[in-house]
Structure 1
Amino acid sequence: MRFILTALIFLAGLFDLFLALTFLIGPADAGRGLGVAAIAQIGTSTIRADFTSFFGVAAFCMMWGAWRRNGDLLLVPTLLFGVSFLGRAVDLAVSGAYPGWPFAMTVEAFHVVLLGTAWRLLPHHRIEEIAG
């Protein structure tokens, strides 16, 4: 079970790493794919910086946590995707439905459930153990 769980996390991390690289290399095209358009150079810079950091940090923590079988490293991407899911839920309540919202929320919910389950099953490494 743990092997399958860590393999799924590693594969999801690779997917997120691919997204991060896509936003780094071609922010305008990648942004348009998510319905985000830059109207000026600062917009392109923001897409490049923010989306790359979101998916890149999530991917790094997921892949490193899966590789090291360290549940604590999975808390960061769990929070990132959890807050994203919450933001979409608020937007859905305030602004209403839009094409594609179920898919986006499903991807985020999948990450939260997968990472939350892994956090419960994988070992936790205390700071004292690392420092000592």
Structure 2
Amino acid sequence: MRLILTALIFAQGLMFLVLGLNFLLMPASAATGFGLSPDGAAGLAVLRADFPALFFVGGGAMIWGAWKRNGDLLLVPAAIFGIALFGRLISIFADGTAPGFWFPMLVEAAAVILSLIASRVLPHRVG
């Protein structure tokens, strides 16, 4: 059970790192898949700064927590992707839905659930 959970977290963390790298290297094409359109150099700078920060920290904490078998580290991606999921829920009520709205929510929910379960299953570091 613990090995499967660790592998799932590691794989999802790797996916988030690839997403972050995609925004860093090819922000315009990455933005299209997220329903975004950069507005000139300032928009591209936001895409290169904010999205890699989200995905690198979230995905990196998932990989590091899974690799080190450290449940405390997995609370970081649970918080990051939990806040993202909450923002999407607010958007559903405020703005309605769009085609395919459920898929990113499913990915974020999986990250939150996996991270929270693993944070309980994997050991915590004291001190």
Normalised by the shorter chain, which TM-score bucket? over 0.9
1:54 positional shift: 0.4
Paired with 2:69 and 2:119, the residues of 1 have a C-alpha distance of 9
Paired with 2:105 and 2:60, the residues of 1 have a C-alpha distance of 21
CA deviation map 1:79-113 (0-9, x unaligned): 01000000000000011111111111111111111
Aligned-residue CA RMSD in angstroms?
0.7
Count of aligned residue pairs for this structure pair: 127
- Tell me the residue number matched to 1:56: 56
1:87 and 2:87 equivalent? yes
Aligned partner letter, 2:25: I
1:29 positional shift: 0.6
1:32 positional shift: 1.1
Paired with 1:31 and 1:79, the residues of 2 have a C-alpha distance of 23
Paired with 1:17 and 1:68, the residues of 2 have a C-alpha distance of 17
| TM-score relative to the length of structure 1 | 0.94
- Tell me the residue number matched to 2:40: 40
1:33 positional shift: 1.0
Q: Which runs of 4+ in 1 moved over 6 A?
A: none
CA deviation map 1:27-52 (0-9, x unaligned): 11101110111112111000111001
1:17 positional shift: 0.8
Aligned partner letter, 2:69: R
1:19 and 2:26 equivalent? no
Paired with 1:39 and 1:63, the residues of 2 have a C-alpha distance of 33
Aligned partner letter, 1:22: N
Gaps of 5+ in 1: none
- Tell me the residue number matched to 1:77: 77
Paired with 2:63 and 2:110, the residues of 1 have a C-alpha distance of 16
Gaps of 5+ in 2: none
